[in-house]
Chains A and B, each alone.
Chain A
Amino acid sequence: MTTLNRKQDSAGKTNRPGTETKLAGIPRTGQLVMLVAPAALWLIFLLILPLITLVMLSFQKSAFGPDSTVFSLNSYIEFFRNSAYQRLMLRSLWISLLVSFFTILLSYPLAYYMAFHGGQKQSLMLNLLIIPAWTSFLLRVLAWRVILGSSGLLNTFLLWIGLINQPITGLFYSQTAVVITLIYIWIPFAALPIYVALQRIEPGLLEAASDLGSRPWQAFLKVTFPLSIPGILAGFLFVFIPTVGEYVTPAMVGGPNGLMIGNIIWDQFSRGLDWPMGATLSLAILVAVLIPLVLAARVAQKSGALGGGR
């Protein structure tokens, strides 16, 4: 058996994977290691090691020079003492919540339409949804400067129709601008998981609801919506997590009131050269993001939506 396998292997042909089969002469445990290795290495070098480095950095007195080996809680003390950090942190979380909420609110009808009324145009609509993501992130953010700026498209239009006689200046370089821009950026990320969840709902379930006396809106509330909760949660996480750490958009359209924690971290690592403080703030975000993550997982478990299927 073994010799036979070797012969076939050396001839460049692999036989069917059976219990005794060796692929290219490598034993099964070896095969397993090879399959897992790329992912494991990726995780170790790009996630676990940087995370350990970050934790270590946050306890250093300084990133450079002789102080770099001195253990210190300075960064943490500073984080808890300086309320500016906490305010910025809360603002970031608040902005992220707003963005996630409105993104899902706007994405849901879109996903609903694609899933239930898209017909043969479904793939076309999906492509239209994704195509903007092919252009650079920076360009898409910059586009909103053109729209929201004081002599931008929106103001020009409002002036032209006479709704206002002075350009609105508060639109640009504000928290609102950050929220609007990010909603626009994230819509495909929320719409896709919701679309997938809605599309997986069997038409028979809606017929059953109707058969049991539900009007269309009742069927939506009692069947369609609960079954789309996994999609909503996925969409929420896809939007919320990257938004908390976002720094490009606030830097470009946010102005002083639109700054987020990400901008400060960026400052600590670049201009401020206070890497331990940057590391501490990064870890604070990490913890702050973990909380809604755990909550979302709990909701998913309770609604039983994830364990669904038939």
Chain B
Amino acid sequence: MVNNIIEFENVSKQYREKAGEIVNALNPSELSIQAGEFFTLLGPSGCGKTTALRLMAGFIQPTAGNIKIDGLAMNNVPPYRRPVNMVFQDYALFPHLNVFENVAFGLRIKRTQAAEISRRVNESLEIVQLVGLNNRRPSQLSGGQKQRVALARALVNQPAVLLLDEPLGALDLKLRRAMQLELKALQQQVGITFVYVTHDQEEALTMSDRIAVMSAGRILQIDSPQNIYERPTTRFVADFVGETNFLTGKIKNIVTGDYVKLAIGNDLVDVRHRTNGIHPGDTVTVAIRPERLSLAADGQQVEQISATISEITYLGTDTRYLVTIPTGEKAAVRVQNAGMNRTSSYRIGDQVKLGYVLDDAQILVS
């Protein structure tokens, strides 16, 4: 209770369209964000992640449910009375003010003393590594510099939570990568809770302590980056985060409490399961990452599925094989080009066995 800086209790947001049609931007959702963590809302555009963020900032009010920030109910509390600050997607820097005044904006509103303003503004500009540009106008700054000003402008107010709405979206790939690491380091340095919105799964995995994957106005899974990647509970999460193979199998029997014998094509394999409510005879989907599958000749691996190689693509660090299993389903296999595997020893049309380690296959909730 004490640790949760932001709490959503059954929060939902509906919009009424012009035609009278109701759009569920956010279905009733529960969410607890802990103090000091780097929390990411991840999902494709229109999934409700920005709606959730704007609900926290107070730009919009929930249709139902309660939002608490730092233990206090935020119903009808306007943005200017919330202990949060936002870094906007397009930065929203004030074009008529220079860098210093942009950053000082919040402090001036609070009537902070001039010396204190000067000290804190320069301090936060130092934190974001933007020194010596105090007198520049936003129009005279590069995208990366604007980004830093926006960040400093929010941080200078020492908010309880910093909200970031796809802040790196407008930057080029190289700068984005550098800023990802910088932001993460910055968050650890200042110790402020970050709530970060992005559609970039790689960004989310790199930076976050925890990720909430969203789709169509629903939060599908909240977990650590590792668990989001390794143990996706739904097909959407498995598919959205990284590349995944989906294979259809039929449950033969449940061996012990935690793994089942599964028929995929003509092969019988073991798959660990963590969900309840599956019974022998059920048809289920199994997710396996391409890099967790291996290719081998018959008999070399524990769990194996027969397959035929239909495509080979050389990718530099890896080689990607597309294989077809007897059911007609296709699967991708990524093999690192290192050591013994430096050159591909397979050809299109070769019969192979797909192998995997028990923990790497995941039965999904439909």
The finding on whether chains A and B are genuine partners in a shared complex, rather than unrelated, reads: yes
Query: Given A307-B137, A310-B138, is A211 in contact with B86 using a C-beta cutoff of 8 Å?
Result: yes
Q: Is A67 at the interface (CB under 8 A from chain B)?
A: no
Q: Is A218 at the interface (CB under 8 A from chain B)?
A: yes
Task: Judge whether B59 and A213 touch: CB under 8 Å.
Answer: no
Nearest to A225 among chain B residues (CB) is B96
Query: Given A212-B157, A213-B106, A213-B109, is A207 in contact with B59 using a C-beta cutoff of 8 Å?
Result: yes
Task: Judge whether B139 and A310 touch: CB under 8 Å.
Answer: yes
Q: Which of A202, A205, A213, A226 contacts B157, CB < 8 Å?
A: A213
Task: Judge whether A303 and B80 touch: CB under 8 Å.
Answer: no
Query: Given A208-B86, A307-B137, A308-B139, is A213 in contact with B92 using a C-beta cutoff of 8 Å?
Result: no
Q: Is B236 at the interface (CB under 8 A from chain A)?
A: no
Task: Judge whether A211 and B95 touch: CB under 8 Å.
Answer: no
What string of 1s and 0s marks CB contacts (under 8 Å) between B86-125 and chain A? 1010111111100000000110111000000000000000
Which residues of the other chain, A, contact B353 by a CB distance below 8 angstroms?
Answer: none
Task: Judge whether A208 and B109 touch: CB under 8 Å.
Answer: no
Q: Is B78 at the interface (CB under 8 A from chain A)?
A: yes
Determine the interface band of chain A, counting residues with CB < 8 A from chain B.
Answer: 20 to 34
- Total cross-chain contacts (CB, 8 A): 74
Using CB atoms and an 8 Å cutoff, list the residues of chain B in contact with chain A.
57, 59, 78-80, 84-86, 88, 90-96, 105-106, 108-110, 137-139, 153-154, 157
B100 to chain A, nearest CB (A): 14
Chain A interface SS verdict (over half): helix
Task: Judge whether A207 and B95 touch: CB under 8 Å.
Answer: no
Task: Judge whether B79 and A210 touch: CB under 8 Å.
Answer: yes
A204 to B150, CA, bound (A): 12
Nearest to A219 among chain B residues (CB) is B80
Q: Which of B59, B92, B93, B137 contacts A304, CB < 8 Å?
A: B137
A207 to B59, CA, bound (A): 7
Task: Judge whether B95 and A310 touch: CB under 8 Å.
Answer: yes
Query: Looking at B59, B84, B95, B153, which has the most chain A CB atoms within 10 Å of its CB?
Result: B95
Which residues of the other chain, B, contact A208 by a CB distance below 8 angstroms?
Answer: 86, 88, 92-94
Q: Which of A204, A211, A214, A308 contacts B96, CB < 8 Å?
A: A308
Which residues of the other chain, A, contact B96 by a CB distance below 8 angstroms?
Answer: 226-227, 303-305, 308
Nearest to B110 among chain A residues (CB) is A213
Q: Is A38 at the interface (CB under 8 A from chain B)?
A: no
Task: Judge whether B139 and A209 touch: CB under 8 Å.
Answer: no
